[in-house]
């Protein structure tokens, strides 16, 4: 068994909601970050990002796009259960934190925490989870650019 770890690569993608930093290792998607500016130089190995880049660009043209990319969502058992529930929310629909919590026999706060920890926003659509009385937060923010991104994604998917 080879215990040697390969270094992850980062690719920056310009989108209608700003730059996304896509992090992959050995062709497996690890994380998507919303960026105001690049944190480090982009990967020179753009080929491994081509399939993901194409799917994300297609999503921004047509939100009905299905993502078919190998990923590794590292999280707790509970977080992975929440993320699986999020992937079952149809495009153009939302669920409240409370609805997801009831489905998983949990609490809305715990669901919010799992949404906040989601390493693959857009692909695992945490933006489709809202508060009972409004939009709610996004990626830990209750105002500002991240909340604007959530609102843009919801409007984009609503058609």
Q: Which residues are catalytic?
A: 126
- Rounded Cα–Cα distance for residues 97 and 92 (Å): 16
On whether the CB atoms of residues 153 and 130 are closer than 8 A, the answer is no
Cα atoms in the Cβ-side hemisphere of radius 13 Å centred on 66:
2
Taking the C-alpha atoms of residue 76 and residue 99, their distance in angstroms, rounded to an integer, is: 20
**Structure tokens that stand for 100 in this block:** 């997801």
38 — alpha (psi -120 to 50), left (phi > 0) or beta?
A: beta
Rounded Cα distance between 135 and 127, Å, is 9
């Amino acid at each position: 068994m080879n215990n040697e770890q390969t270094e992850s690569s980062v690719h920056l993608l310009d989108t209608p909601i700003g730059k996304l930093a896509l992090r992959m290792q050995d062709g497996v998607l690890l994380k998507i970050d919303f960026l105001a500016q690049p944190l480090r130089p982009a990967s020179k190995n753009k080929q491994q990002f081509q399939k993901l880049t194409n799917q994300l660009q297609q999503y921004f043209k047509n939100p009905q796009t299905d993502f078919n990319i190998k990923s590794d969502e590292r999280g707790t058992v509970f977080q992975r259960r929440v993320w699986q529930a999020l992937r079952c929310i149809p495009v153009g629909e939302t669920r409240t934190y409370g609805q997801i919590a009831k489905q998983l026999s949990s609490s809305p706060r715990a669901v919010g925490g799992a949404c906040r920890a989601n390493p693959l926003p857009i692909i695992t659509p945490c933006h489709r989870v809202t508060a009972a009385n409004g939009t709610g937060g996004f990626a830990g923010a209750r105002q500002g650019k991240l909340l604007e991104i959530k609102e843009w994604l919801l409007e984009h998917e609503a058609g």
